[in-house]
């Protein structure tokens, strides 16, 4: 797994929306996040549609909030984190616009 405080924190049992927020804060602080093919992960899978629907209703607003936060502070994040490129910021902006224009996201947020 990881070494040091990040490896310890990443092993805690958290929901995905909390984990994504934590990763967003690490990026804001200048950390470099890397993919690790040898990592082990487990999750709880919704067993019925209502559980899945509630999970998506919880995840979508937090994902959108993290993207908005990233785009609001893009200049600071870009300045302090040398691992973030302007293309990544542009990609996040396109993702946010497409998510807001997507009817399914709008319905899940409203309902």
Copy the structure tokens of residue 46. 């919704």
pLDDT for 9: 47
Nearest to 82 by CA among 32, 25, 23: 32
Q: Where are the alpha helices (DSSP H) in 29-102?
A: 49-72, 74-80, 86-101
Whole-angstrom Cα distance, residue 102 to residue 1?
A: 37
pLDDT for 2: 44
Nearest to 20 by CA among 79, 92, 83: 92
pLDDT for 15: 55
How is the chain split into domains, by residue range? 4-110
Q: What is the pTM of this model?
A: 0.61
């Amino acid at each position: 797994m990881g070494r040091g405080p990040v490896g310890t924190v990443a092993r805690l049992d958290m929901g995905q929306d909390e984990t994504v927020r934590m990763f967003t804060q690490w990026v804001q602080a200048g950390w470099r996040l890397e993919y690790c093919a040898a990592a082990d992960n487990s999750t709880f899978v919704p067993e019925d549609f209502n559980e899945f629907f509630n999970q998506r209703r919880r995840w979508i607003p937090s994902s959108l909030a993290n993207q908005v936060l990233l785009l609001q502070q893009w200049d600071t994040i870009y300045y302090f984190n040398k691992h973030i490129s302007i293309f990544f910021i542009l990609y996040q902006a396109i993702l946010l616009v497409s998510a807001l224009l997507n009817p399914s996201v709008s319905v899940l947020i409203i309902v």
